[in-house]
Chain A
Amino acid sequence: NAGVTQTPKFQVLKTGQSMTLQCAQDMNHNSMYWYRQDPGMGLRLIYYSASEGTTDKGEVPNGYNVSRLNKREFSLRLESAAPSQTSVYFCASSLGFSGGKLAKNIQYFGAGTRLSVL
Chain B
Amino acid sequence: SQQGEEDPQALSIQEGENATMNCSYKTSINNLQWYRQNSGRGLVHLILIRSNEREKHSGRLRVTLDTSKKSSSLLITASRAADTASYFCATGAYSGAGSYQLTFGKGTKLSVIP
Binding site for B on A (CB under 8 A): 4, 31, 35, 40-45, 48, 50-51, 54, 56, 58-59, 90, 92, 94, 96-97, 102, 104-112
Q: Which of B68-114 contact A (CB under 8 A)?
A: 88, 92, 94, 97-107
Is B103's CB under 8 angstroms from A90's CB? no
Binding site for A on B (CB under 8 A): 1-2, 31, 33, 40-45, 48, 88, 92, 94, 97-107
Is B99's CB under 8 angstroms from A48's CB? yes
Secondary structure at the B interface, as helix, strand, loop or mixed, is strand
Known: A31-B100, A50-B98, A50-B100. A106 touches B88 (CB 8 A): no
Is B100's CB under 8 angstroms from A102's CB? yes
Most buried by B among A4, A90, A107, A109: A107
Is A108's CB under 8 angstroms from B100's CB? no
Chain A residue numbers with a CB within 8 Å of B31 are: 104
Chain A residue numbers with a CB within 8 Å of B99 are: 31, 48, 50, 56
For A6, the closest partner residue in chain B by CB is B42
- Known pairs A4-B42, A41-B2. 20 more at Cβ < 8 A? A40-B106, A41-B106, A43-B88, A43-B104, A44-B104, A45-B103, A50-B97, A50-B98, A50-B99, A56-B99, A58-B101, A90-B43, A96-B98, A106-B33, A106-B45, A109-B43, A109-B44, A111-B41, A112-B40, A112-B41
Chain B residue numbers with a CB within 8 Å of A48 are: 99, 101
- Cα A110 to Cα B42 with chains together (Å): 6
Is B105's CB under 8 angstroms from A109's CB? no
For A105, the closest partner residue in chain B by CB is B100
- Cα A109 to Cα B40 with chains together (Å): 13
Chain A residue numbers with a CB within 8 Å of B92 are: 105
Chain A residue numbers with a CB within 8 Å of B88 are: 42-43
Known: A105-B92, A106-B33. A43 touches B100 (CB 8 A): no
